[in-house]
Amino acid sequence: MPRSLRSGGGCRLALIALACGPLLAGCGEGANMLDPHGVGARDIAGLFWVIFWMAAGVFVVVEGLLIFAIFRFRNRGEARLPTQVQGNRPLEITWTILPLVVLFGVLIATFNTMKAVASPVPNALQVEVIGHQWWWEFQYPDQKVVTAGELHLPLNQPVTLHIKSADVLHNFWVPELDRKVQALPGHDNIIPIMATQSGTYHGFCAEFCGLEHAMMRFEVVVQPGDQFTTWLQGQAQPPVQPTTAAQQAGAKAFAGSGCATCHQIGSAKPPGFPSNGNIIIGPNLSHVGSRGVLAGDIMANTPQDMAHWLQAPDTMKPGNLMTTFIHNGQLSQQQVQDLTAYLESLK
Ligand code: CUA
């Protein structure tokens, strides 16, 4: 094979290897599990590097010995066979014991990390996390707050997340903060979490759960304690009343167009904090205007995107439940404008 082609193949392999790096780490900015900003993620990344360097050491030793043997014991044109080591007891024992020791080290390190990331912290803030097809609901039961799509956490404070599902299997994962946790219907999975740096992080559903699995994302906003408390108190307030004509028309359209069948605003049906999350169909919209993202973090919460979402939900997120109720283009332009004005006012 011509040399230029051989080196081209090598380049391609190197490029593929480089491209696979981010896959291993969890793609995207703000979602790199090897860039931890939470106690659990830090422990997990630490374990990853321990195993990585152990594996790298094994690789170097084994490949080094292999290359050494290839050159040292190559056929030099002699007629006789080299010295045979088959059945050499000390060698057999050595290469049986050594991997055992290495793997036992990995096992101990893994057990330690599993214990560390699963240990509950007393007096932690309690948050219920409920997976729905295809969005995430977040409830703060002690503060009577319910929201969706955007999980707020206080900086450097312990939080216990109770992960569950309202329908099928989901999987809650914020790569930079902690481990993956399965969301099961009718069962609480607990995850103690503590973020150690303010900022916005990306969360994902990490288990295939239907058509829009890939669009079942969320944002995590980590704030210093005082800012978090202000946010929480704001979310616990009743929704603001519509003031402008457009907002009032939007409130009317909300009640008259079927929106209220699935979505709650205020205490018409109070955020009920059902233990299994079953009675909630769509996200609670009491403070939807305060959120940074919409529809499972597939778009920013801007009036333009909100209007587009109301106008043609199925083009933005095919298969979403809202489409079974509000078909593309069913709401008039005026209704969409009024609804957008009303919903965006709900800060
Ligand atoms: Cu929910 Cu994938």
Query: Which two structure tokens, joined as six digits, stand for 29?
Result: 């900015």
pLDDT digits (tens, 9 = 90+) for 157-213: 999 999 999 989 999 999 999 999 999 998 999 999 999 999 999 999 999 999 999
CA 82 to chain centre: 57
Mean pLDDT of the chain: 84
**CA of 188 relative to ligand 1 center, distance in Å:** 17
Percent of the chain with pLDDT over 90: 43
| Residue type for position 261 | T
Atom number of ligand 1 nearest to Cα 170: 1
Radius of gyration (Cα) for the chain, nearest Å? Answer: 27
Atom number of ligand 1 nearest to Cα 209: 2
* 141-165 average pLDDT score: 93
**CA of 321 relative to ligand 1 center, distance in Å:** 14
Q: Write down the residue that tokens 């979490």 correspond to.
A: 193
Is the predicted pLDDT of residue 252 greater than 50, yes or no?
Answer: yes
Atom number of ligand 1 nearest to Cα 206: 2
Q: For position 16, what pLDDT does the model report?
A: 53
Could you tell me if the CB of 206 is within 6 A of ligand 1? Answer: no
Is the predicted pLDDT of residue 1 greater than 60, yes or no?
Answer: no
Q: For position 93, what pLDDT does the model report?
A: 93
**CA of 174 relative to ligand 1 center, distance in Å:** 13
**CA of 7 relative to ligand 1 center, distance in Å:** 42
Alpha helices (H) in the chain, listed in sequence order: 3-25, 39-72, 89-118, 225-236, 245-256, 259-262, 303-311, 313-316, 333-345
- Closest-CA residue, ligand 1 atom 1, reads 170
* 52-62 average pLDDT score: 93
pLDDT digits (tens, 9 = 90+) for 86-108: 888 998 999 899 999 989 999 99
Could you tell me if the CB of 217 is within 6 A of ligand 1? Answer: no
**CA of 171 relative to ligand 1 center, distance in Å:** 6
